[in-house]
Structure 1
Amino acid sequence: MTQAKTVAFHTLGCKLNFSETSTLSRLLEQDGFVKTDFDGQADVYVINTCSVTDNADKECRQLVRRIQRRAPESMVVITGCYAQLKPAEIAAIDGVDLVLGAAEKFNITEHLKTLTKGDSTRICSCDIENVNTFHTSYSLHDRTRTFLKVQDGCDYTCAFCTIPMARGKSRSDSVENVLTNARELAANGVKEIVLTGVNLGDFGKGLQGGKKREETFYELVQTLDEVEGIERYRISSIEPNLLSNEIIEFVANSRKFMPHFHIPLQSGSNHILGLMRRRYRRELYAEKVALIKQFMPHCCIGVDVIVGFPSESNDHFQETYNFLHDLDISYLHVFTYSERANTHAMDITPVVPVAVRHERNKMLRNLSHKKMQYFTEQHTGHIRKVLFESHQKDGMMDGYTDNYIKVTTPYRAEWVNELVDWELR
């Protein structure tokens, strides 16, 4: 009897990538593969890549080299954004056997059937303009919270971003299909779903029966709120110009949508926002934060911000710092700008020195720490429900309150995937 082949996965990047990796894993397991740990021996290694920053590209190359040292006879498959953007560059990495672009990643089982170690690297990709289908993806059993992809691609042309080139035009699932997935996840014991996409607020674009669909993200959240068995939903990230007042008010009155928003800002300087080709100004952003806090004073608000964008002067950065300092937000995800080929930002000067970029990053990360500390202290003595994760480290387990305050406590198996009343200290 032939022994089943083993496959190991590694994901770089966002929640969307995690949902897709989990789906790829299920496809291969259905085809007879046995999933194993990435740090061990496997017949096939699959790396799902990101390409938001240059660091993600480097990490991919390092992972391939590590596999080559450990298991030189194993197959190495690279997919994801980096694979779509630079397939030839990846194919040139010693040890890579298969490169799958955006249109081919979900055909991985068919490609592996005809792949032989030692053949020249196979590239299966196409022009991103031809990528127009939506593939449902969700994570399952990887962690307690499930990432459910409901939208893909982006029609925006932000000056720093390669995502439209890597994932194509905005398209999404239908409300009906998302509901089906949510009910399936509930049947599998999932308590919390994180809605993910490239540009979530743009949900509703796509074709249904050959005709254009007319659905909205607001309709989606209203409908999901009625699904039995799911206790919690989170909106992973939503553009400020697409976060409507009706969505904010709905979340404030919902039993299931958590008081937690993640809203990209990128810069607190209107001049820089203009150069970035963002579709709002800082005044709109401040209005959205104020409205959220008016309806939900306890709401957690996370912010994406980029430092060191070309021509960002000390004054521009200080504008951003002061704006964030005065804003009633909870934490920051800080990105150091890195040059990406074929983006409009490459033509903007002057370039900010790398050392300055890193210094600004450090300043905002320190601010983020203070913001989260202050937000957490505001809830000292409050009792909030915590959903505990299955993962444990050194005998400890983590969980999150409804408003995204992290709780760490000694591991108790009976608390895994359970909502526990917890007094914050």
Structure 2
Amino acid sequence: MKKILIKTLGCKVNQCESEAIRNALVESDHGFAIGDDGMADVVIVNTCTVTRKAAMQSRQAVRQAVRANPGARIVVTGCHAQTAPAELAAIEGVDLIVGNRDKHLIPRQIYSDMPKRTGDHTPVECPDIAGIVQFDVLPGIAHGGRTRPFLKIQDGCNAFCTYCIVPHARGRSRSLPMDPALRQIEQLGRLGYREVVLTGIHIGCYGHDLTPAIGLYDLLCRIRDAGAIDRVRISSIEPAELSDDIINLAASGEEPPGRLCPHFHIPLQSGDGGILKRMHRPYGRDYFMELVQRIIGRLPDAAIGVDTLIGFPGETDEAFENTYALIQSLPVAYLHVFPFSAREGTPAFSFKDQVPAPVIKKRCARMRRLGSKKRREFYARHVGKVVTVLVEETRDRTSGRLKGFSDNYIPVTFDGPDDLANTFQPVEIQRISSEGVPRGVVILNVE
């Protein structure tokens, strides 16, 4: 039996695609099993390029895969493969480069006589992705290894923010049609999953390219009505695309099945109006503030996660302080803090007024401290409350206790038997540990 190993860098979409490729190989009749470093016959490295650091880490992962698996066929795919195939093809030991456009075909290529490096020549299959208008269905369902599987319903992005390389790596926005999406969710429900995370590159544009055009809200309503899954969570969604309809759907108070989790991850990037305009972001500071307040007005316990991009060209001390003050004033639950990374091929690469790296580092550290404070405050507001937790299959490594997430994305640990795994349990949050982890207890005999 051949051993397959997949190494994944980057976002939830990459993770979803890797899982789907892995499952397609393992569940096929071609004799593949999951392998480990040193024992793999085929290694797939699914790369990221969103920052220079991510691109560097992707190349490092490829080299490590070559060293650790002598004699294995090495396939490199993903966003760095799409945007910089020549750099990856130059790495000795790489057998095949496959861009994002043809990523879904990798299992078929592995089943057949996969092209192999000959001398200094590595086969590269990275056709232009800009003209792709049809969503390519993944070769398998992305299940296994997690209690909450991802379902990719959208790919690509039309926004072309001035700092972002992703549209060049992923192409234009395109959507998985509703019926196939519902069938995949039904299949996940039959496999025993209780929650699914809908993911994409620009998920708020879901359905705009379909005929007739639909929206994310339409899909969420159909998922609710179908009742095939208990809980639905959506990944990152742009501020202007988080509609009142979606917020109200999460606030409807309906029990499973089909409950939309009160958890929204919303990219802010900057809290300064001038920087937002230079970024080509289609909203302003006041709009974002009002959106967060509107969510909390309907869903007081909602988890609101925020992305910030620190050190964009022209970000003065005042502009940074505007971002810091905005985040400080809002009831957000957590932050993802990214340093600006100039990506060749984007307008911001050649912008003047680049912020020095030490300044960016200092600002990021300060913003992350604020994020830690916000996270702890959010958890602390729930001490004494009972939350519904989907218990995970694996226990907490440090404490050995059961663990899981509430619908509003609070990670809770608590004591209990293994047979609670993959069930919903009412858990009272009793305290926050010194490490910042919510600790709770299962409430028994709740009617």
TM-score (norm 2): 0.90
Could you tell me which runs of 5 or more consecutive residues in structure 1 were left unpaired when the two chains were aligned. Answer: none
Is 2:193 the counterpart of 1:194?
Answer: no
Deviations 1:400-424 (A, max 9, x none): 1111111124574212111111010
Decide whether the 8 Å contact of 2:16 with 2:142 is kept in 1. Answer: yes
Is 2:106 the counterpart of 1:108?
Answer: yes
Structure 1 residue 117, shift from structure 2 partner: 5.1
Q: Which amino acid aligns with 2:158?
A: D
Structure 1 residue 195, shift from structure 2 partner: 0.7
Residue of structure 2 aligned with 1:5, choices 2, 18, 42: 2
Is 2:311 the counterpart of 1:313?
Answer: no
Decide whether the 8 Å contact of 2:37 with 2:68 is kept in 1. Answer: no
Q: After the TM superposition, which residues 350-361 of structure 1 pair with which residues of structure 2 at under 5 Å, given as runs?
A: 350-361=353-364
Structure 2 residue aligned with 1:403: 408
Q: Distance in 1 between matches of 2:419 and 2:136?
A: 35
Q: Which amino acid aligns with 1:59?
A: Q
Is 2:266 the counterpart of 1:267?
Answer: no
Decide whether the 8 Å contact of 2:115 with 2:123 is kept in 1. Answer: no
Deviations 1:162-216 (A, max 9, x none): 1110111111012222111111110011101111011111011335xxxx33111
Structure 1 residue 273, shift from structure 2 partner: 0.3
Structure 1 residue 79, shift from structure 2 partner: 0.8
Structure 1 residue 27, shift from structure 2 partner: 2.2
Q: After the TM superposition, which residues 123-142 of structure 1 pair with which residues of structure 2 at under 5 Å, given as runs?
A: 123-137=124-138, 138-142=141-145
Deviations 1:38-61 (A, max 9, x none): 445200111111111112111122
Structure 1 residue 65, shift from structure 2 partner: 2.1
Deviations 1:331-370 (A, max 9, x none): 1011111111100101211111111111111111111110
Structure 2 residue aligned with 1:44: 42
Decide whether the 8 Å contact of 2:62 with 2:76 is kept in 1. Answer: no
Q: Distance in 2 between matches of 1:80 and 1:21?
A: 10
1:287 counterpart SS class: helix
Is 2:389 the counterpart of 1:390?
Answer: no
The count of residues paired between Structure 1 and Structure 2 equals 418
Q: After the TM superposition, which residues 217-236 of structure 1 pair with which residues of structure 2 at under 5 Å, given as runs?
A: 217-236=216-235
Decide whether the 8 Å contact of 2:231 with 2:260 is kept in 1. Answer: yes
Residue of structure 2 aligned with 1:340, choices 338, 343, 354: 343
Decide whether the 8 Å contact of 1:9 with 1:38 is kept in 2. Answer: no
Decide whether the 8 Å contact of 2:3 with 2:35 is kept in 1. Answer: no
Q: Which amino acid aligns with 2:108?
A: E
Q: Distance in 2 between matches of 1:374 and 1:253?
A: 25
Q: Distance in 2 between matches of 1:182 and 1:232?
A: 11
Q: Provide the aligned C-alpha RMSD in A.
A: 1.6
1:301 counterpart SS class: strand
Structure 1 residue aligned with 2:435: none
Could you tell me which runs of 5 or more consecutive residues in structure 2 were left unpaired when the two chains were aligned. Answer: 431-447
Decide whether the 8 Å contact of 2:3 with 2:32 is kept in 1. Answer: yes
Structure 1 residue aligned with 2:17: 20
Deviates more, 1:395-404 or 1:367-376: 395-404
Quickly say closer, same or farther: Cα 1:37–1:364, change in 2 above 3 A.
farther
Percent of aligned pairs with the same amino acid:
39
Structure 1 residue aligned with 2:425: 420
Deviations 1:126-179 (A, max 9, x none): 112232221234520120001111111111110111111011111101222211
1:320 counterpart SS class: helix
Decide whether the 8 Å contact of 2:83 with 2:169 is kept in 1. Answer: yes
Structure 2 residue aligned with 1:237: 236
Quickly say closer, same or farther: Cα 1:148–1:248, change in 2 above 3 A.
same
Quickly say closer, same or farther: Cα 1:367–1:33, change in 2 above 3 A.
farther
Q: Distance in 2 between matches of 1:23 and 1:411?
A: 32
